[in-house]
């Protein structure tokens, strides 16, 4: 099996990261007063709305865009300048994501009792979460070129609608172009969207039962992905 950067997508890994993104995003939304740490698009809306809503905890939410970009930049640096195979750059990036999610958990636990949207712990938890998801988003785009995003489902959902419609239309209208490509995109995209949705459902249920400790399974899954990335690279030698 070729290493991911060769262009051959190892589909289970980005699908697993879609689950992680949905999982931690819903946990953050519940715990951090409506903060999106994975789907950064929502933060652009929050930034605009803050001009008139003046909601609490807005400082942390407004940091989402630069911190997310910073996480993506660090992941890019790792991918461009690290050339080792033990560990490979993808595994290093995933290990960084796991470390940032651990910080997300630690800071969240520090504020679990007070639940203060303007506390330093709440701010720090948000920053760690944004950075973790920035790292993940960049890693998938760099090492799995052409794979659907693990963080944002809007484009993937509209693409599913387009491709599914084309496939259905092709049954009666032979002039529909690129039907085979549409079928392939459906096969590639549906698991990502389903994993994100399942992650969101699982995250909500887990947070309801475990509060901040619900982040532990997400960290564990990222570490599993890290080990898998390392193994993939070892087999490619």
The pLDDT tens digits of the residues spanning 177-196 come to 889 999 989 999 999 999 99
Cβ distance 214 to 207 under 8 Å? yes
Give me the chain's average pLDDT, please: 89
Tell me how far apart the alpha carbons of residues 237 and 234 are, in angstroms, rounded to a whole number. 6
Cβ distance 46 to 58 under 8 Å? yes
Tell me the CB-side half-sphere exposure of residue 96, using CA atoms within 13 A. Answer: 27
Token digits of residue 174: 């032979």
Token digits of residue 187: 């096969």
> 6-15, 83-92, 102-111: lowest mean pLDDT where?
6-15
218 vs 39 pLDDT, higher one? 218
Q: Which of 86, 25, 225, 40 is nearest to 143 (CA)?
A: 225
Q: Which of 35, 12, 5 is nearest to 225 (CA)?
A: 12
Cβ distance 135 to 93 under 8 Å? yes
Q: What is the pLDDT of residue 135?
A: 98
Tell me the mean pLDDT in the region 192-204: 97
Residue 99 in this model has a pLDDT that exceeds 70: yes
Q: What is the pLDDT of residue 7?
A: 37
Tell me how far apart the alpha carbons of residues 154 and 137 are, in angstroms, rounded to a whole number. 15
Token digits of residue 115: 């639940």
Q: In whole angstroms, what separates CA 232 from the centre of its chain?
A: 21
Place of tokens 């953050």: 28
Q: Which residues contact 193 (CB under 8 A, 6 or more apart)?
A: 18, 148, 153, 156, 157, 160
Dump pLDDT digits (tens) for 131-159.
Answer: 999 999 999 999 998 888 899 898 899 99
Cβ distance 180 to 163 under 8 Å? no
What is the three-state SS of 140-166? HHHHCCCCCCCCCCHHHHHHHHHHHHH
Confidence of residue 3 (pLDDT cuts 50, 70, 90): very low
Place of tokens 């640096």: 77
Dump pLDDT digits (tens) for 39-53.
Answer: 888 777 877 777 677
Q: What is the pLDDT of residue 56?
A: 66
87 prior amide bond cis, ω within 30:
yes
Q: What is the pLDDT of residue 105?
A: 98
Q: What is the pLDDT of residue 5?
A: 46
pTM to 2 decimal places: 0.90
Tell me how far apart the alpha carbons of residues 89 and 79 are, in angstroms, rounded to a whole number. 5
Number of other CB atoms surrounding residue 43 within 10 Å? 20
Percent of the chain with pLDDT over 90: 65
Confidence of residue 6 (pLDDT cuts 50, 70, 90): very low
Q: Which residues contact 209 (CB under 8 A, 6 or more apart)?
A: none
> 43-47, 60-64, 93-97, 122-126: lowest mean pLDDT where?
43-47
Confidence of residue 80 (pLDDT cuts 50, 70, 90): very high
Measured in Å, how far apart are the chain's first and last C-alpha atoms?
10
Residue 8 in this model has a pLDDT that exceeds 60: no
């Amino acid at each position: 099996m070729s290493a991911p950067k060769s262009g051959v997508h190892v589909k289970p890994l980005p699908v697993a990261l879609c689950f992680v993104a949905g999982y931690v995003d819903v946990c953050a939304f519940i715990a951090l007063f409506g903060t999106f740490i994975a789907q950064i698009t929502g933060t652009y809306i929050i930034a605009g709305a803050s001009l008139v809503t003046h909601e609490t905890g807005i400082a942390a939410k407004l940091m989402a865009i630069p911190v997310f970009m910073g996480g993506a930049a660090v992941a890019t640096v790792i991918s461009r300048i690290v050339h080792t195979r033990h560990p490979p750059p993808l595994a290093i990036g995933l290990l960084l994501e796991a470390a940032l999610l651990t910080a997300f958990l630690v800071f969240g636990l520090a504020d679990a009792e007070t639940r203060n949207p303007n506390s330093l712990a709440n701010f720090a938890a948000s920053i760690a979460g944004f950075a973790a998801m920035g790292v993940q988003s960049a890693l998938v785009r760099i090492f799995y070129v052409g794979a659907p995003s693990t963080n944002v489902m809007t484009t993937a959902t509209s693409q599913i609608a387009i491709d599914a419609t084309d496939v259905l239309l092709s049954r009666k209208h032979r002039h529909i172009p690129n039907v085979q490509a549409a079928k392939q995109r459906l096969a590639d995209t549906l698991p990502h969207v389903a994993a994100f949705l399942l992650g969101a459902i699982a995250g909500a249920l887990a947070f309801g039962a475990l509060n901040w400790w619900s982040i532990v399974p997400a960290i564990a899954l990222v570490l599993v992905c890290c080990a898998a990335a390392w193994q993939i690279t070892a087999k490619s030698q």
